[in-house]
Amino acid sequence: MKSKIYVNEIGYRPNDRKVAIYCGKDAVNFQILDKTGACVLQKVSTESRYNPSTENYEVKCDFSEIKENGEYIVKVADEVSVPFVVGEDIYNHSVKSLMRFFYLQRCGTELTKEFAGEYAHPSCHNTPARIYGTDIFREVNGGWHDAGDYGRYIVAAAVTLAALFHAIENDESLLKVDMQIPESGQAMPDLLTEIRYELEWMLKMQDEATGKVYHKVTCAGFCDFIMPEYETEELVICPFSLTATADFAACMAMAVKFYAPYDKAFAERMAEAAKRAYAVMREIQVPGGFLNPEGVVTGTYEDKYELDEQYWASAEMYKAFGDELYKNEFENYVNQEVMHGYGWEDVASFGNLAYLSTSYPTDDKIADKLRKAIVDKADALMKKYEANNYEISFDEKDFIWGSNMYIAENGSHLFDAYKITGKDEYLIAAREHINYIFGKNPCNVCFITGAGTNQVYNPHHRPSAAVKKAMLGMLIGGPDSGLHDPDAVRDCAGLAPALCYTDKLLSYSTNEVTIYWNSALLMLMAQVLS
């Protein structure tokens, strides 16, 4: 539905802030109508303000006083918003579908109709994989397909699981969600069962002899829009990388405590794997980091800055095992320039959380320094948030590939500051990032497939394309002003940064999905909605 009024298309919880954005040059009178068409609130918007990200003027229509459950629309003159709901449980369905996505991405196993519906498929990618440049083959079946493609990448896997673990830490009720997976009903909560599916694959990607971890397993190139069992080219395991090995160590260390109560032997295997990876990660020094070897053209997750991964690993190792060595190494990394973030590329923020939450002794000065850096970062984000009409901590330069993940990530940074300072303003700002993703954005679309009124219909996701129906519960990448694919160039050239989004199957730079975008959103939702 074309409209100039943008709202969270799912809705708002009764006591949350509620703002709609109207696109126009002047302040307006706006009304909130209930389901019967009766006007339940009439107000004047804020003054209009120019927005460099949209190259347009917008005003805010704040209707936070509406707290009664029900269905509503916002009306400005003849223009109406899509209908939305006010209710306490509005996010339950989305959370469940965001979680079920991981099951539907399972590789190396049959997905049956009963659990996967139209996305059912026989087992895939289960031939032995060639270790690049050798005649050695290795069984690395399992795990989740990374994204719209069928590759499996350690860096992406590790940050996905880290975010999911933080989601659980912040909202234990996620462990009670019936994900409707084949294992549902067993003693282990569904989400932990699903995460274990990825962990078991990651363990297979560690070399027994050295403890080093292979960067990824994919075919040499990307396949067409086919179901996974039809991608039958040889699988190639790419060389070890420092980022993969460090992230692997961090992730395995984190996982231990979640599984120890259910399966001690599995937890011990992971502890051992983490220690072995950590011990050798620094030996894998390749100038410039991992790059695709000759002949392989799939995703690289290339990353020139590898210190943040080591920083994160040392913090998780200390938190999990308490050895002085890990503490000393972390405290050494603190004095160096590391990249903070919760994305695949910059991971140091995970390290901060680990150090600040360990039950082993920490250095007060270092802990204070970390807390100050977290609050400073959030304050910088707050400035952007206040300046942005859509109430996201972005300026016009921030709309890059996977912008929706950075939206979620920034929300988590704001939440971190809330936890440290207790100041509600950070929490309120963090929640606005969720409203943006669910439809309060200038693209006028709910960025989670299958949710809202203005939906994403053509995600760059092979099973969705093969079945000709968008799978539910996938956070798509969102606007990317870099115009990194031909469809984005064709549809978005000349558009303002925040509008560089196109719902085209071939627009992988704006309309793809990934496991770590879903997990970033789940982490934020668990933090600020529970």
Binding residues (CB under 6 A) for ligand G3I: these are 146-149, 151, 299, 301, 345, 400-402, 482, 484, 508, 512, 514
Please provide the DSSP assignment of 456-524 as one string. ----B-HHHHHHTSPPSS-BB----TT--SHHHHHHHTTS-GGG-----TT-HHHHBBBHHHHHHHHHH
Q: How far apart are CA 101 and CA 404, in angstroms?
A: 17
For 6, the enclosing helix (H) or strand (E) is: strand 5-6
460 is catalytic: yes
Identify the active-site residue in 190, 460, 480, 491. Answer: 460
3-state secondary structure 309-326: HHHHHHHHHHHHHCCHHH
According to the binding rule CB under 5 A, does residue 227 interact with Zn ion? no
CB closer to ligand G3I out of 18 and 215: 215
Q: How far apart are CA 257 and CA 244, in angstroms?
A: 21
CB closer to ligand G3I out of 252 and 400: 400
Partner from ligand G3I, Zn ion, ligand 9MR, none binding residue 290, C-beta < 5-8 Å depending on class: none
Partner from ligand 9MR, ligand G3I, Zn ion, none binding residue 107, C-beta < 5-8 Å depending on class: Zn ion
Q: How far apart are CA 156 and CA 474, in angstroms?
A: 16
Report, in this order, helix, strand and coil percent for the chain, each rounded to 5.
45, 15, 45
According to the binding rule CB under 6 A, does residue 222 interact with ligand 9MR? yes
CB closer to ligand 9MR out of 228 and 299: 299
- In this structure, the number of other CB atoms found within 10 A of the CB of residue 97 comes to 20
CB of 225 to ligand 9MR, least distance (A): 8
- CA 223 to chain CA mean position, Å: 24
8-state DSSP, 228: G
Segment lying near Zn ion (by CB under 5 A), choices 21-29, 105-113, 318-326, 429-437: 105-113
263 is catalytic: no
- For the segment 89-148, give every residue that binds ligand 9MR (CB under 6 A): 147-148
Partner from ligand G3I, Zn ion, ligand 9MR, none binding residue 222, C-beta < 5-8 Å depending on class: ligand 9MR
Segment lying near Zn ion (by CB under 5 A), choices 51-59, 124-132, 285-293, 298-306: 124-132
CB closer to ligand 9MR out of 402 and 497: 402
- For the segment 264-303, give every residue that binds ligand 9MR (CB under 6 A): 299
According to the binding rule CB under 5 A, does residue 125 interact with Zn ion? yes
- For the segment 9-68, give every residue that binds ligand 9MR (CB under 6 A): none
C-alpha to C-alpha distances, 117 to 106, 126, 185, 393, 463, nearest whole angstrom:
14, 22, 19, 38, 12
Partner from Zn ion, ligand 9MR, ligand G3I, none binding residue 228, C-beta < 5-8 Å depending on class: Zn ion
CB closer to Zn ion out of 125 and 377: 125
CB of 508 to ligand G3I, least distance (A): 6
Segment lying near ligand 9MR (by CB under 6 A), choices 266-274, 402-410, 439-447, 505-513: 505-513
Is the C-alpha dihedral spanning 215, 221, 227, 231 positive or negative? negative
Which runs of E-coded beta strand occur in 197-282?
A: 216-218, 236-237
503 is catalytic: yes
Identify the active-site residue in 16, 58, 146, 149. Answer: 149
Partner from ligand G3I, Zn ion, ligand 9MR, none binding residue 193, C-beta < 5-8 Å depending on class: none
Q: The tokens 């160039």 sit on which residue?
A: 489
Q: The tokens 């910088």 sit on which residue?
A: 380
According to the binding rule CB under 5 A, does residue 152 interact with Zn ion? no
Locate 85 and state its tokens: 């709901």
Site mask for ligand 9MR (CB under 6 A), range 146-165, x = bound:
-xxx----------------
Locate 150 and state its tokens: 């069928």
For 185, the enclosing helix (H) or strand (E) is: none
- In this structure, the number of other CB atoms found within 10 A of the CB of residue 267 comes to 18
Residue nearest to Zn ion (CB): 107
Binding site for Zn ion (CB under 5 A): 107, 124-125, 228
Residues that bind ligand 9MR (CB under 6 A): 147-149, 222, 299, 506, 508, 512
Q: List residues with catalytic annotation.
A: 149, 460, 503, 512
